[in-house]
Amino acid sequence: MFNMNQMPIAKRAQILGLLVEGMSINATCRVSGAAKATVLKLLADVGATCAEYQHETLRNLPCKRIQCDEIWSFVGAKQRNVPEEKRGEFGIGDVWTWTAIDADTKLIASWMVGRRNADAASEFIGDLSSRLANRVQITTDGLKLYVNAIEGAFGADVDYAQLIKVFGEAPEGQRRYSPPQIIGEERNVITGAPDMKHVSTSYVERQNLTMRMGMRRFTRLTNGFSKKVENHVHAIALHFMHYNFGRIHKTLRVTPAMEAGVSDHVWSLEEIAALVPEPEAKKRGPYKKRSA
């Protein structure tokens, strides 16, 4: 077993590699030989540092076309199983991750974990607007929360459209596991003059699949769900750090961060692990002879 203060950087990188490939905490412990407390401490330290690094680095982005969406998950228990005394408390039950992806560079320009309400939508879109260098075109689904949030953050300085999908009935007996068939789409201009050829949510919906495949805690039928919302946020921060900076996108042949001009190389897992400074060795005090 390893503890955090003695763990070499290569071992930390191995553990992070297992986590970003979708392994649960317990499976990561079995494969790496690290204690569960050690893996959770590493996730917390690296996750917090990755969130801070992206918050500071993803600025003045040259995005032109942004797609936004929100993805459901749960923490502690599914909403229907949350104890009565804890209902309404954030961090147990339904939790939503808001994401904004650049359709050209595939960069996750902004993300936020929160509720699915007007305040969360305004906070998320406000953060997105602060990171952009140019006027952009935004596409969302038909969620009405986006309309006021985008108007409040961008005013008239945005080209915004909604893509509303029309679904048919899922086949009998398959409603729980099979998505309903899409039978039509509506494209509605909300603000400005968006290019209707690029009114799409395909990339952000594909990103939802990437999240469900890359983080065990996002799997729909799992016992690897997050038990604490703090660890949920740390795991998402690590996922997006690796996705943006450390993983080559197949169609781009570089990472999204390189394509967006915010990085000049592919980050290794060792580099991501090294974002957390090594703990300083404590100075030993003067030797005191014990009396007999």
Query: From first to last of its 292 residues, what are the pLDDT tens digits of the chain?
Result: 555 557 899 999 999 999 999 999 999 999 999 999 999 999 999 999 999 999 999 999 999 999 999 999 999 999 999 999 999 899 999 999 999 999 999 999 999 999 999 999 999 999 999 999 999 999 999 999 999 999 999 999 999 999 998 877 766 655 555 667 777 788 999 999 999 999 999 999 999 999 999 998 998 777 788 999 999 999 999 999 999 999 999 999 999 999 999 999 999 999 999 999 865 545 556 655 555 4
Which residues does 122 contact at the CB level (< 8 Å), separation at least 6? 148, 149, 152, 153
Domain 4-273 sits in CATH 3.30.420.10: yes
Of 1, 10, 7, 78, give the one whose Cα is nearest residue 270: 10
Tell me how far the alpha carbon of residue 267 is from its chain's centroid. 18
Q: How far is CA 286 from CA 42, 157, 282, 283, 289, in A?
A: 32, 65, 13, 10, 10
Say what the pLDDT of residue 219 is: 84
- Cα separation, 191 vs 154, in Å, equals 10
Say what the pLDDT of residue 284 is: 59
Say what the pLDDT of residue 277 is: 81
Is residue 110 classed as helix, strand or coil in its secondary structure? Answer: strand
- Cα separation, 154 vs 244, in Å, equals 25
Of 227, 226, 153, 140, give the one whose Cα is nearest residue 190: 140
Backbone angles phi, psi at 98, to 5 degrees: -90, 135
Backbone angles phi, psi at 88, to 5 degrees: 90, -10
Beta bridge partners of 189: 161
3-state helix, strand, coil in the chain (%, to 5): 40, 20, 40
- Cα separation, 220 vs 203, in Å, equals 21
